Amino acid sequence: MQTAASSSSLEKSYELPDGQVITVGNERFRCPEALLQPSFLGMESSGIHEMTYNSIMKCDIDIHENLYANTVLSGGSSMYPGIADRMQKEITALAPPTMKIKIIAPPERKYSVWIGGAILASLTTFQQISMVAPCGEPSRTRPGQHRASWTATGAPRPREQGGMGGDRECKLQPNKESSPP
């Protein structure tokens, strides 16, 4: 991080779709570092490595070994170069010394969450574990909570089914943390 803060040799130029060229310096390293040290952004929360460790520790002790050996990175934020090695290093420092740590960073991880959601939504069993609510219904989550995503599907709901004639049905996967207070 110190090298990145003071070195201009780490600058990289990017051409934007409109043809404009921008040069990015140490921001290339400061931005992803905030995932591991949210205090850089003035946030009082744990880094993703600590959240991963805490999540594993809350699980049954019998599956700790499997979780440590099969931690998979996914989503666009996991595409930063070196993030898998850094997660490996940070979780190794937190985990018991005898534990084998393996961070898996599949090349298609940028789309893994979307692909997984698409697969889940295509399963017939998804109909049994989903809830239906009108699109645009105000969120009932408290500030700071994650909000569930809405996916519009189907035809407009008639008024007799609680719709406004033009509403579309939305599928929402249940999330205990998103329930109203």
Give the whole-angstrom CA distance, residue 35 versus residue 32. Answer: 6
Choose the weakest-confidence range: 9-18, 95-104, 105-114, 146-155: 146-155
- CATH code of the domain in which 62 resides: 3.30.420.40
DSSP string for residues in 106-128: -TTGGGHHHHHHHHHHHSTTHHH
- CATH code of the domain in which 5 resides: 3.90.640.10
- Is 116 part of a structural domain of the chain? no
- Kindly report, residue by residue over 71-103, the tens digit of the pLDDT: 999 998 899 889 999 999 999 999 999 999 999
Q: Are residues 149 and 160 in the same domain?
A: yes
Which residue range is the domain that position 30 belongs to? 1-44
Q: Are residues 95 and 65 in the same domain?
A: yes
Q: Are residues 53 and 107 in the same domain?
A: yes
Q: Are residues 39 and 57 in the same domain?
A: no
- Is 152 part of a structural domain of the chain? yes
Give the whole-angstrom CA distance, residue 64 versus residue 94. Answer: 13
**140 within 8 A of 158, measured Cβ to Cβ:** no
- Kindly report, residue by residue over 4-35, the tens digit of the pLDDT: 445 556 899 999 999 999 999 988 888 889 89
Q: Give 146 or 160, the one with higher predicted confidence.
A: 160
Task: Look at residue 143 in the predicted model and tell me its pLDDT.
Answer: 47
Q: Are residues 51 and 103 in the same domain?
A: yes
Percent of residues in the chain assigned helix, strand, coil, to nearest 5: 45, 15, 40
